[in-house]
Amino acid sequence: MDEVTGHKNLTRRAARGLSWSGATLLARILLNVLVTAVLARLLSPQEYGVVGAAMIVGALGNSIANLGMSQVVIQRRDIEERHIRTVFSLSMLIATILGLLQWIFAPQIADFLHIPELVLVSRVLAVMMVANAFNLVAEAILSRHLKFKISSIASLIAWIASHVGLAIPLAYLGFSYWALVVTYMAEALILASIYFFIARDYLVRPSFDMQSYRDIRRQSLGYSLAGISTFTAKYIDNIIVARLIGTAELGIYSRAYYLIAMPATLFGNLNKSVVFPLLSKVQDDKVRLRTAQLKGYALTAALALPFSAFLSTFANELVLTVLGQKWVDAVVPIMAFSAAIYFRLGYKVCSAVMLATGRSYQMATMQIINMALIGLFALFSAPYGVNAVAVAVSAAMAASFVLCAVVSCRMTGVTLWDFLLVHGPPAAFAAFVFGAGSAVKALLEGWPDYQVLAVGLSVIGALSLVALYMRASLFFGRYGVEVLKSAASKKTAWIKWTPS
């Protein structure tokens, strides 16, 4: 009875975590689109390219600094306060050292990427390395305690304060790419300040203990290897574009990638802060892991596939409406990245299962393969331009997802038939969205782009609500409906989750 009660409590906490994190995720996506629309008219592709290259360097440092220790804080069952103290102290120390190295080698970094402006920008961004390390460990501690509400609200507040309060005014005043540099620094520092004050009851004072480090060393190094491989897979195509094609082209490529990958990135944060901690709690229960994986695929496909179909259909209208005429070269990359949205999100479901069960080295192997595929596809397509790179990288993402899905499904006992059944309803609805969107574009040919986009969004949104009202399982499938019913409030009683 106690075990059943525990499972129900965990399900309720999962629902609350998904509700809070999902609400803040949706708010951030909408705000992100608005902020991106404003900044795209104030900054040029060249300016975005400079900052995009600088963030690659910072992201690598953040990936190395933690050595996978924050994931151990979440996943390890028998972790003690001494382990967390050691994780805190090591993360801060390594981040400080890496920040100094980034400062020292800034000229070499700029020469490698052929971007002279990177010397000063890299040195300024090196300052936020320690703040990022603190935020990563603090978020891990909150996730272990399933305090999803605190971390969700904190990250949203920090993002709004920095991007709305600083990025837009500074860009308007003519600070060029420095508007983005200051924004990223402010976001890290504001988030650290919020965590320090509102999460202080869960934080610990840093101190190093060698035995504690020995306890977590092997597992943390596996997570670290997976994290570094993930970073490389995420940015290697950007490095190739910057070095072989140009800074302005990197601005086009990175903005297209960011605009489409934004939901995937935020979903990845949701996956890391909610799904991964919850799966870690039931890592020894193969039946529950299998069900959780199927639910993850169902919900991911239901959200991603129709969204992907919509973006692919209205890519031209989206670019001209959100980014403006000077970003028209981003249309083809956006179409390519839109087609790969589900593969990015589905890959995160697979990785959550592997990491939650402690298979960090197996996940690292998957990430190395993913990195190699993206790197090779990007390298061989670079001579043909940014559009070719975007198509090739999207194909590499698809191949990586298929491989990772095969490995993780064997791990939990998910059959091919289970996998296909879960994806059937969302795929059918995505086809319907594509058809409806194409019909809207044909009927409204010659209308202003923003009007076509608005009408298409309204029509498909209305059709989605009708589908939910008639029978939600047609859209989400059985497993997706189970997840949504758990997270739904009484205000959604109008939805017919199952046929009467």
Q: Enumerate the domain spans of the chain.
A: 2-492
User: 184 with 55: CB under 8 angstroms?
Assistant: yes
Q: Could you tell me the two tokens for 193?
A: 């300040």
8-53 pLDDT tens trace: 454 555 555 555 555 666 677 778 778 888 888 888 888 888 887 8
pLDDT, tens only, 278-334: 555 555 667 777 877 787 788 788 878 888 899 889 989 988 888 888 888 888 998
Q: Distance of CA 204 to CAs 148, 149, 208, 441, Å?
A: 19, 20, 12, 56
Q: What is the pLDDT of residues 384-433, one digit of tens each?
A: 988 999 999 999 999 999 998 998 888 888 888 888 888 888 898 899 88
What DSSP string describes 344-374?
HHHHHHHHHHHHHTT-HHHHHHHHHHHHHHH
Q: Convert the pLDDT of each residue in 432-490 to its tens digit.
A: 889 999 999 999 988 998 899 999 989 888 887 777 776 666 677 676 666 666 555 55
Q: What is the DSSP string of 379-444?
A: HHHGGG-HHHHHHHHHHHHHHHHHHHHHHHHHHHT--HHHHHHHHHHHHHHHHHHHHHHHHHHHHT
What pLDDT was estimated at residue 268?
Answer: 56
pLDDT of residue 169: 93
- Enter the tokens of residue 271: 């996956």
Averaged pLDDT score across all residues of the chain: 78
Percent of the chain at pLDDT > 70 equals: 74
Q: Within 10 A of 216 (CB to CB), how many other CB atoms are there?
A: 22
